[in-house]
């Protein structure tokens, strides 16, 4: 038998929470059962001090959530890709919000050379970002470096989301979908917009744009029509 005694406090809190929510709002749980049509997919850090719902003032059911250490999106992570695909194709979310937080422990670890085990391999992705923008860190102190890398990491992960076939397929079928990058500081919990709001194929660097044969035929047809229209207005 597992030692349930150590979880006793959690079960007690849970029953208390369930009763008090039910007392304040008797329909809460029946509403929750019916509702799974979120408009937002949140991709954030696993940090226990971070709660997607609370920080956005949304109810459970209003936001679909994926979390991992340092909010990283990599193209071979089938966990993250599955969440993306389900959120976009089935739930039809309209916004994907990659959210980082200043002082992130994962980002901090990526700036150091101390091995923490298997996770070093995961954080390697963040070291790559540092390496790419190394000159930006030249005159920064330790904390400023962590914060800058936290911001650059969010931007990079927004780009990675946009480079997936899942997001690009959605754009190609004209599904409304915007990818955003936000960051906040644990000391005040205020969300800051990093002003990377991407909602179309054309905003992605060309090398990352993927088209199959049918897409290319469609693009060619559109181009021809545009050219024809241009000609007819000239004459
Ligand atoms: Co973190």
Res 11: pLDDT: 87
Please report, for the chain, the start and end positions of each structural domain, with discontinuous segments joined by +. 36-209
**Whole-number pLDDT of residue 171:** 97
Q: Strand pairing partners for 121?
A: none
Residue 187 to residue 189: CA distance in whole angstroms: 6
pLDDT at 54: 84
Residue where the block lists tokens 């004459």: 235
CA distance 81 to 90: 13
Per the residue annotation, which of 34, 67, 94, 104 is the catalytic one? 104
CB-based contacts of 75, cutoff 8 Å, min separation 6: 81, 160, 163, 164
Considering 15, 16, 25, 45, which one is annotated as catalytic? 45
Q: Give all strands of the β-sheet with 191-193 in edge-to-edge order.
A: 63-68, 40-45, 95-101, 178-184, 191-193
Pairing of strands 191-193, 178-184: antiparallel
Residues in the 5 Å CB sphere of ion ligand 1: 45, 47, 104
Q: What is the mean pLDDT of each run of 10 residues along the chain (235 residues)?
A: 74 90 88 82 88 82 93 97 97 96 97 97 98 97 97 98 97 96 92 96 94 88 88 67
Q: Please give the pLDDT value at position 234.
A: 62
Calculate ∠ Cα 45-210-77, nearest 5°.
30
Q: Residue 219's closest CA among 232, 231, 206, 234?
A: 206
Kindly state which CATH superfamily the domain 36-209 is placed in: Carbonic anhydrase (3.40.1050.10)
Ligand 1 centroid from CA 54, angstroms: 16
What does pTM read for this prediction?
Answer: 0.87
162 part of the active site: no
pLDDT of 235: 54
Is 49 an active-site residue?
yes
What's the 100 CA to ligand 1 centre distance in angstroms?
Answer: 7
Return the beta strands (E) in the chain as ranges: 40-45, 63-68, 95-101, 178-184, 191-193
Distance from the alpha carbon of residue 116 to the mean position of ligand 1, in angstroms: 15
Query: Residue 189: left if φ>0, alpha if ψ -120 to 50, beta else—which one?
Result: left
**Which pair of tokens denotes residue 122?**
């995961």
The pLDDT value recorded for residue 32 is: 80
């Amino acid at each position: 038998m597992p030692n349930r005694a150590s979880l006793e406090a959690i079960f007690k809190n849970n029953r208390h929470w369930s009763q008090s929510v039910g007392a304040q709002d008797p329909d809460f749980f029946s509403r929750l059962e019916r509702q799974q049509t979120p408009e937002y997919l949140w991709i954030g850090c696993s940090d226990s001090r971070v709660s997607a719902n609370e920080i956005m003032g949304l109810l459970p059911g209003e936001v679909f959530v994926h979390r991992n250490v340092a909010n990283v999106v990599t193209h071979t992570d089938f966990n993250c890709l599955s969440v993306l695909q389900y959120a976009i194709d089935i739930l039809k979310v309209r916004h994907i919000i990659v959210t980082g937080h200043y002082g992130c422990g994962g980002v901090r670890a990526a700036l150091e050379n101390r091995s923490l085990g298997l996770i070093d391999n995961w954080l390697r992705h963040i070291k790559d970002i540092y390496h790419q923008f190394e000159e930006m860190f030249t005159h920064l102190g330790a904390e400023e470096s962590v914060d800058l890398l936290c911001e650059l990491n969010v931007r990079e992960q927004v780009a990675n989301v946009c480079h997936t076939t899942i997001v690009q397929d959605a754009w190609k079928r004209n599904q409304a979908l915007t990818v955003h990058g936000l960051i906040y500081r644990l000391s005040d919990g205020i969300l800051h917009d990093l002003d990377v709001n991407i909602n179309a194929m054309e905003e992605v660097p060309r090398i990352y744009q993927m088209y199959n044969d049918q897409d290319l035929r469609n693009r060619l047809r559109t181009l021809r029509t545009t050219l024809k229209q241009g000609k007819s207005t000239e004459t």
